[in-house]
Structure 1
């Protein structure tokens, strides 16, 4: 289990900043807990304890999208994960995503993911890691670069539970940074995954959403916690496509590349380095570096 150094933190937020961080966090938790329900702005205003006349404008100004857009994005992301990672039938997936018909869901899903749902299940970007490689695996081996990363300090929001739900921690991280006026160009968003999902129950998985602390003047105050990024060699696989497709990439990296590479995994967590923003690009254009620590 990861250990975070938090005992020496002192919160330097103004009362107003601390209040908005708590309000944003409550709304995020509510949205994730009620993802199957239609978002009701008045209810969310009550959760945020803000004026129903103004709270949504505040949310949109901070997060860069409406609550409806947030819910739609998260529902489609969950539907993509259902298609790739489960055998759940399509006639159960589209109502859960909040659509009134399969046709409406298919149009929306294709707009976001490039393929209709049934075709995506059979031929989405995840399949490139399950297709046979060349006899000697030469082309597949070129997909991985070995780089030496410098040690770094991270400011993180811990997360426990399904790795597909780590977005909840990232939303809290983003809202916290926005409330403190700490968002700036070039901040490096990273996911840190401490548990092995093949041996640890999903509810007990430990991970964290974080950013690299850019300099000593950057405040790491609660709810942010300080964590260390191990320096050393990493095998880096660049993944292009939806986050829901990444399980196949991990299986290929561990089960194919690593066993043929002559290298061994180090006793350190795997990292994900997010190179663009799911609010700004389509899921098919997301770029993520999966970073496997090596001895």
Structure 2
């Protein structure tokens, strides 16, 4: 069967994403990226924007700043070195770009970011009520998407591919709901063994054009603790630690038998990191 033009370009952009994530700390000039994608450098930007609604250079910048935020939280690397790693020519230009996306300069983010407000003494139950957790019943649903192996920080690679696939099939609408399923505890499983799924909710499974490399996962109806999280994805590890170390012991609830999952309520392509909204679901015993 002849491949549609949209499908052709989607597959080329998938190859490009693999390259970008593998070489994010290298110089990524547009001529090289066009060669990798096998798309003319005169048209690469237009093709990419047609699929994702944003520019390729903005996407690379966003991924680098996302990685920089993780480095700031989890290492003692100097701000200057973090800026160089993110391919900024000066601390000043890095600080401007970081502040635009994260609402504060990198030094302050390291000192005062959302990860700090979640890093509380698990025995201090008074502090543990500062974040609203709702107990609700989650309906059963079918999720379909791509598996990701490795650091959860890089699951965005599969979400980019999933969004491109949906666009190529004409399936991306205003009602499309994106979810991530996270099967392992990153504190106890080696980083290269972590398994997650980048998914979309599917209501008409029988009519959905499931492809060979896609995975189907069923979330069974269950009681859940839900934390509505606002802010950068890089800070969410601290939110999970707070949920399990602070909220859970004082809640009287017990965790259930399904993995944690998240619903992404807006699009990282179109809002600053500070405005990202995510519902974190912890399945509980009924």
TM-score where L is the length of structure 1? 0.90
Shift of 1:39: 2.4
Shift of 1:52: 2.7
Alignment: residue pair count: 284
Sort the Cα spacing of 1:47 and 1:138 in 2 relative to 1 into closer, same or farther, 3 A: closer
Q: Distance in 2 between matches of 1:202 and 1:134?
A: 29
In the alignment, is the contact (CA less than 8 A) between 1:13 and 1:180 conserved in 2? no
- 1:293 matched residue in structure 2: 283
- 1:162 matched residue in structure 2: 151
Q: Distance in 2 between matches of 1:13 and 1:77?
A: 38
- 1:84 matched residue in structure 2: 73
Shift of 1:219: 2.3
In the alignment, is the contact (CA less than 8 A) between 1:133 and 1:140 conserved in 2? no
Shift of 1:18: 4.1
After superposition, what is the alpha-carbon deviation per residue over 1:140-160, rounded to whole angstroms, capped at 9, x for unaligned? 176100111111111111000
Sort the Cα spacing of 1:189 and 1:13 in 2 relative to 1 into closer, same or farther, 3 A: farther
Among 96, 106, 119, which residue is 1:130 paired with?
A: 119
Shift of 1:260: 1.0
Gapped regions of structure 2 (runs ≥ 5)? none
Q: Is 1:225 aligned to residue 215 of structure 2? A: yes
In the alignment, is the contact (CA less than 8 A) between 2:181 and 2:262 conserved in 1? yes
Q: Distance in 2 between matches of 1:192 and 1:257?
A: 21
Q: Distance in 2 between matches of 1:162 and 1:135?
A: 31
In the alignment, is the contact (CA less than 8 A) between 1:188 and 1:212 conserved in 2? yes
Gapped regions of structure 1 (runs ≥ 5)? 1-11
SS in 2 for 1:195: coil
Sort the Cα spacing of 1:159 and 1:133 in 2 relative to 1 into closer, same or farther, 3 A: closer
> Superposition RMSD on alpha carbons, in Å?
2.0
- 2:231 matched residue in structure 1: 241
Q: Distance in 2 between matches of 1:114 and 1:221?
A: 40
Shift of 1:138: 7.5
Q: Please list, as runs of the form range in 1=range in 2, the aligned pairs for 1:51-62 lying within 5 A after superposition.
A: 51-62=40-51
Q: Is 1:110 aligned to residue 99 of structure 2? A: yes
Q: Is 1:260 aligned to residue 253 of structure 2? A: no
Sort the Cα spacing of 1:219 and 1:13 in 2 relative to 1 into closer, same or farther, 3 A: farther
SS in 2 for 1:198: coil
Sort the Cα spacing of 1:118 and 1:174 in 2 relative to 1 into closer, same or farther, 3 A: same
Sort the Cα spacing of 1:89 and 1:230 in 2 relative to 1 into closer, same or farther, 3 A: farther
Q: Distance in 2 between matches of 1:59 and 1:222?
A: 24
SS in 2 for 1:184: coil
In the alignment, is the contact (CA less than 8 A) between 1:65 and 1:279 conserved in 2? yes
Q: Is 1:100 aligned to residue 83 of structure 2? A: no
Q: Distance in 2 between matches of 1:68 and 1:113?
A: 18
After superposition, what is the alpha-carbon deviation per residue over 1:46-69, rounded to whole angstroms, capped at 9, x for unaligned? 212223322321111101111111
Q: Distance in 2 between matches of 1:13 and 1:255?
A: 54
Q: Distance in 1 between matches of 2:172 and 2:154?
A: 23
